[in-house]
Amino acid sequence: MDAKGNRVFAVDFDGTLSLGKWPNTGEPNEELFSFLIKEKEKGSRIILYTCRNGEQLSEAVRYCNHYGLKFDEVNRNLQEHIDFYGGDTRKINADYYIDDKAIDPGSLIEKIKAGTI
């Protein structure tokens, strides 16, 4: 949470906000955009957390702005977290991580036990 108790979301771009594959952009994930915009209106903080850099990162930010999503930070912790930890740690401090590559740890353990992974 942020200093005011608001939720913090770290969200990936490729395959998550954009349904395309790097280095291209694709159709927007309209449901996710709608959810995050509503969360931001409630006070939640949104951080773009992506491997993109340079012009491709700028393109991703412009893309999201075009669809109405403005970020509190991009590939960087909130300033209050940087101040608290004494620097910008490599791991983004968030309550929720939204990424097409994410695996729920409980589901992963169950799949390993079942021999499906």
Residue 55 — φ and ψ, nearest 5°? -65, -35
Query: pTM surpassing 0.85?
Result: yes
101 conformational bin, left if phi > 0, alpha if psi -120 to 50, beta if neither: alpha
Domain covering 8-114 assigned CATH 3.40.350.10 in the classification: no
Three-state secondary-structure class, residue 112:
helix
pLDDT in tens, 31-90: 999 999 999 999 999 999 999 999 999 999 999 999 999 999 999 999 999 999 999 988
CB 23 within 8 A of CB 56: yes
